[in-house]
């Protein structure tokens, strides 16, 4: 029976991958050649290849799940991450708990995107922009099919006679979030392939105006939204599972997901300048190319074994493939930009730095420098080792120190930018619009001091957070007053909801990083311990056993109420002790308990660490608000008022948008308030 499984899963998996690889190559060739020679028959055949590559990727992934759930230990991957004692849920999530499976997940998501894009644009394949974008999607998909078939082969046969395995890393089998965090993160990470593909297609076809931006803006937003949610869920998982009470460790793998988020966020802002003013064409293309290239570079750094990471998988031969692909992406993209240099020169100019577009430029500088800091800190140990054959580490204190001033500057921009009009703002207008938001900032500062906050940096952050919240709230209030419920939807209005979410995240991170209290206690039964205004009492120590682990948990009551149970689990196959925290969540603060030492079941004394973490729950609420805001931003907002001086020319209306630099724009006067609110 086992031998039959071997042939079915391994052979089926390989077969699906080969068919998918061939389909992707044929898809790319048929679109490229069909567009080149104008052969409609070839173009019409392309959707079949997309369906085939999508279906085979899904089938290959389903085969892997089947192999894991049925414990097919004839496959090397199942031997590595499978186990007979692992519960079914974690046998499914084991699919992405190591290198080969995670590349297979990447491939499945990517082939899915290619199929969805093909489905959406199947009737416009004779448009070269669409056709070339799909060629790029097919080429990237083919590359990942190749990886899955070659250096990251999940269907390779394992050593004979193996009947059980260790299961996934213990940390990957004790929280349900492991089911959601990686797939959602990949939906975002891989999703940036779509705008990248359209950017390359725009360069190839020479249609570098604003048309391709309009096609891809929702895809970029979609990818960004999923990446955001994936990162937040990763932080939540870390908080709930790892015993150090933190949400972000600046680990290279975390940085690899954060880098495209930073450049993607910069793009979502600067693209508005191009749509509105036709400017920053090269910059926007560069940001999209950088975002995609960073996903490949990040994967190379963390999956090839060149950088040590708590998330890193074992060394593999995948590194040279990813590095070569990264090189191809960068060289091809830069060559295309150089080739199309003449068409990329933007008309017009930014009139004043004190304007919406000026603020977006400043925002882009900050996000780009932020990305540079994160990339530099991540690769610097490699550089030093290469140059001086010496090992050094660049850890969280470095990233915290440099990200703090950047974060504060970004909060300031978030406060000012939403109220700025396009083109130019007068001092009087700024004083008028920023007055109430600025007082919101002062009130936030006062409230922070009244509840005991101190320190210049955290207070600045709280004050600016209040300022930014006031500005975002003002925009939402104005929009809803004018448009009713539609004041919540559309890019500008949804973007303000996202800003409110970011502000909550910033406040939660600042408070929890600056004011966490921690104490370690030897706790005895019937002898309550008081710490930071709370009373803790050990009730009892109990033992638990599962087929894969055994452990001890201490039941500790907080303030005479419900008991919480931090535990230490020993996974029998790995012999590793894993601490599982227990958290009492509250709006003001969380009480985070970890069991440090316990002798045995029934012991009357334990060693416990207590963390009092202020406002941390607002990090998750802020993340949810960001997700909601992204969805709202994806809905079509109110159509832009064509009477606006900054709108494109509209025939038949008494407005003339003049391309001649320096000439006044003539048109029906529009109240300044309206100008700023309709982005």
Partner 1 sequence: MTDKWKQLKQWPGWVVLGVVAVALLAFGSIRESGPRTSEERVEEISKQLACPICDGESVFESRNTASVAIRIQIKADVSAGAMGDDDIISKVAQVYGARVLLVPQATGIDALVWALPVAALVCAVAGLIVVFRRWKRAADTVPTADDRALVETAIREGLDES
Give the count of beta carbons closer than 10 Å to the beta carbon of residue 324. 12
Residue 244 CB, nearest approach to partner 1 (Å)? 4
Can you tell me whether residue 340 is helix, strand or coil?
A: coil
Q: Edge to edge, what strands does the sheet with 605-614 contain?
A: 517-524, 605-614, 589-598, 582-584
Least Å distance between CB 235 and partner 1? Answer: 14
Contact 501, 626 (CB under 8 A): yes
**Which residue, 291, 184, 287, is CA-closest to 228?**
184
User: Least distance from C-beta 441 to partner 1, angstroms?
Assistant: 7
Q: Which helix (H) or strand (E) holds 144?
A: helix 128-149
Minimum CB separation of residue 546 from partner 1 in Å reads 20
- Least separation in angstroms between residue 401's CB and partner 1 is 8
Q: Which two tokens stand for residue 225?
A: 């939204």
CA dist 300 and 296 (Å) reads 6
452 vs 484, beta carbon nearer partner 1: 452
C-beta of 18 vs 373, nearer to partner 1:
373
Helix (H) / strand (E) element for 516: namely none
**Cβ closer to partner 1: 49 or 367?**
367
Helix axes 181-191, 193-205, angle to 10 degrees: 10
Nearest to 78 by CA among 86, 68, 70, 69: 68
Q: How far is the CB of 345 from partner 1 (least distance, A)?
A: 13
CB of 259: closest distance to partner 1 in angstroms? 14
2: phi then psi, degrees, rounded to nearest 5: -65, -40
Closest CA to 624 of 467, 498, 471: 498
E strand segments, 424-470: none
Whole-number minimum distance, CB 616 to partner 1, in Å? 16
Which one, of 195, 584, 602, lies nearest residue 594 by Cα? Answer: 584
Q: Residue 238 and residue 642: Cα distance in Å, rounded?
A: 48
Q: Which is nearer to partner 1, 397 or 669 (CB)?
A: 397
Q: In this complex, which beta carbon is closest to partner 1, that of residue 215 or of residue 438? A: 438
Distance separating alpha carbons of residues 235 and 231, to the nearest angstrom: 6
Tokens of 13: 């998996």
Question: Which residue, 351 or 555, has its beta carbon nearer to partner 1?
Answer: 351
Is 133 or 307 the residue whose CB approaches partner 1 more closely? 307
Q: How far is the CB of 119 from partner 1 (least distance, A)?
A: 41
Q: How far is the CB of 273 from partner 1 (least distance, A)?
A: 13
Residue 220 Cβ, how far from partner 1 at the closest point, in Å? Answer: 23
CB of 277 to partner 1, least distance (A): 11
Of the pair 62, 670, the CB lying nearest partner 1 is at 670
Q: Which of 62/394 has CB closer to partner 1?
A: 394
- Closer to partner 1 by Cβ: residue 88 or 393: 393
CA 231 to chain centre: 5
Query: Between residues 417 and 445, which has the closer beta carbon with respect to partner 1?
Result: 445
What minimum distance in Å lies between the beta carbon of 518 and partner 1?
5
- Write 577-586 long-range contacts (CB < 8 A, 24+): 578/170, 578/171, 578/174, 579/243, 580/174, 580/241, 580/243, 581/240, 581/241, 581/242, 581/243, 581/245, 582/556, 583/239, 583/240, 584/558, 585/617, 586/617
Which tokens hold the place of 353?
A: 């730095």
Which CB atom, from 217 or from 474, has the smaller least distance to partner 1? Answer: 474
- Residue reference for tokens 């020319």: 649
Assess contact for 619 and 504: CB atoms under 8 A: yes
Tokens of residue 632, six digits: 């709202």
Give the distance from CA 292 to its chain's centroid: 13
DSSP string, 91-116: HHHGGGSSHHHHHHHHHHHHHHHHHH
């Amino acid at each position: 029976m086992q031998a039959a499984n071997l042939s079915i899963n391994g052979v089926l998996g390989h077969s699906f991958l080969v068919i998918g690889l061939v389909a992707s190559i044929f898809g790319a060739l048929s679109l490229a050649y069909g567009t080149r020679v104008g052969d409609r028959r070839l173009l019409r055949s392309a959707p079949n290849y997309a369906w085939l590559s999508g279906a085979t990727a899904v089938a290959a992934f389903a085969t892997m799940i089947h192999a894991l759930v049925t414990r097919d230990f004839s496959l090397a991957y199942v031997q590595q991450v499978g186990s007979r004692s692992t519960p079914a849920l974690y046998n499914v999530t084991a699919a992405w708990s190591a290198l080969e499976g995670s590349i297979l997940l990447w491939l499945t998501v990517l082939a899915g995107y290619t199929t969805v894009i093909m489905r959406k644009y199947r009737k416009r394949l004779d448009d070269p922009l669409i056709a070339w974008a799909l060629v790029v999607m097919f080429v990237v998909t083919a590359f990942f099919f190749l990886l899955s078939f070659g250096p990251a082969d999940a269907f390779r046969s394992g050593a004979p006679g193996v009947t059980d395995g260790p299961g996934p890393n213990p940390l990957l089998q004790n929280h349900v979030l492991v089911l959601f965090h990686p797939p959602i993160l990949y939906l975002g990470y891989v999703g940036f392939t779509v705008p990248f593909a359209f950017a390359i297609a725009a360069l190839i076809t020479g249609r570098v105006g604003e048309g391709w931006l309009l096609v891809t803006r929702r895809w970029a937003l979609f990818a960004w939204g999923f990446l955001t949610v994936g990162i937040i869920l990763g932080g939540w998982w870390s908080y709930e599972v790892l015993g150090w009470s933190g949400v972000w460790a600046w680990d290279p793998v975390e940085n690899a997901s954060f880098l495209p988020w930073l450049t993607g966020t910069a793009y979502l802002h600067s693209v508005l300048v191009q749509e509105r003013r036709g400017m920053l064409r090269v910059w926007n293309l560069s940001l999209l190319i950088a975002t995609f290239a960073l996903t490949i570079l990040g994967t190379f750094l963390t999956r090839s074994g060149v950088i040590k990471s708590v998330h890193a998988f074992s060394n593999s031969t995948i590194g040279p493939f990813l590095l070569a692909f990264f090189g191809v992406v960068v060289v091809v993209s830069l060559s295309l930009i150089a080739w199309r240099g003449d068409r990329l020169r933007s008309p017009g100019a930014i009139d004043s730095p004190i304007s919406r577009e000026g603020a977006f430029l400043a925002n882009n500088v900050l996000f780009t420098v932020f990305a540079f800091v994160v990339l530099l800190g991540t690769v610097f140990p490699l550089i030093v080792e290469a140059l001086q054959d010496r090992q050094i580490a660049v850890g969280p204190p470095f990233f915290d120190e440099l990200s703090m001033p950047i974060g504060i500057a970004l909060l300031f921009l978030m406060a000012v930018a939403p109220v700025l009009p396009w083109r130019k703002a007068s001092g009087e207008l700024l004083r008028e619009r920023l007055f109430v938001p600025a007082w919101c900032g002062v009130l936030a500062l006062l409230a922070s001091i009244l509840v005991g906050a101190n320190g210049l940096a955290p207070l600045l952050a709280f004050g600016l957070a209040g300022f930014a919240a006031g500005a975002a709230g003002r925009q939402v209030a104005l929009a809803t007053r004018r448009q009713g419920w539609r004041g919540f939807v559309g890019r500008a209005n949804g973007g303000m909801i996202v800003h409110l979410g970011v502000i909550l995240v910033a406040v939660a991170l600042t408070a929890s990083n600056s004011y966490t209290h921690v104490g370690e206690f030897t706790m005895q039964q019937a002898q309550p311990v008081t710490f930071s205004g709370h009373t803790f009492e050990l009730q009892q120590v109990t033992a638990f056993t599962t087929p894969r682990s055994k452990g001890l948990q201490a039941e500790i009551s907080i303030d005479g109420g419900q008991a919480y149970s931090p535990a230490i689990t020993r996974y029998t196959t790995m012999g590793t002790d894993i601490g599982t925290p227990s958290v009492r969540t509250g709006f003001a603060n969380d009480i985070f308990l970890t069991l440090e030492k316990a002798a045995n079941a029934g012991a009357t004394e334990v060693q416990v660490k207590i963390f009092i973490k202020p406002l941390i729950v607002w990090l998750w609420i802020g993340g949810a608000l960001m997700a909601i805001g992204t969805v709202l931003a994806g809905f079509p907002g109110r159509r832009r008022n064509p009477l606006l001086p900054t709108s494109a020319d509209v025939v038949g209306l008494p407005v003339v948008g003049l391309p001649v630099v320096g000439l006044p724009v003539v048109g029906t006067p529009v109240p300044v308030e309206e100008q700023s609110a309709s982005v």
